[in-house]
Amino acid sequence: MTEFFSGDTGLWVLFATGFLSATLLPGGSEANLIAAVKLGDNPIWQIVAVVAIGNTLGGLTNYWLGLLLPDKTSEQKQSHKALLWLKKYGYWSLLLSWMPIIGDPLCLAAGWLRMRFWWCAVVIFIGKTLRYIALAAIVLGLFPSLPF
């Protein structure tokens, strides 16, 4: 089983699970990141970069799906929770695109609101990368006072 997560194959698995876990499909990017870090076959920066890129592209898939939704009037866009977050906090709310339950709708809503693609891509990438950096740091024991 460890061969599955080692070397180039492991990076492809990380990319694929990162992508899938950012869409509505189930994925296990966190578990795979932990396995890859513990195996130590690839540099940490490479592990984090691959899974963050895959996860960002998955989030941007949701953004593009939002572009496919019909553009509604502003009154119809007022009632959705993800839309309210985006209207209140703007692009910065996409830093939370990594979060379960609300992350996918935020990316979808950004596309539906026709927010600027490159701003969305950059902020989504930053949020998702910071999450994986923090997770890798926890696995490496850089936060020894944490109980897990």
Total-model pTM: 0.82
Domain membership of residue 148 (yes or no) is no
Please compute, for residue 139, the number of CA atoms within 13 A of its CA located in the half-sphere on the CB side.
20
Q: What is the pLDDT of residue 80?
A: 65
In the predicted structure, residue 90 carries a pLDDT above the cut 70: yes
Average pLDDT, integer, range 32-53: 92
More confident residue, 120 or 24: 120
Q: Which domain holds residue 48?
A: 2-139
Triad 147, 49, 52: Cα angle to 5°? 70
Domain membership of residue 33 (yes or no) is yes
Domain membership of residue 146 (yes or no) is no
112 contacts 69 by C-beta, under 8 angstroms: yes
Mean pLDDT of the chain: 83
Q: What is the pLDDT of residue 1?
A: 44
Average pLDDT, integer, range 96-112: 88
In the predicted structure, residue 6 carries a pLDDT above the cut 60: no
Domain membership of residue 83 (yes or no) is yes
**What CA–CA distance (Å, rounded) separates 116 from 110?**
8
What total number of domains does the chain contain? 1
Domain membership of residue 69 (yes or no) is yes
What are residue 127's phi and psi, to 5 degrees?
-60, -45
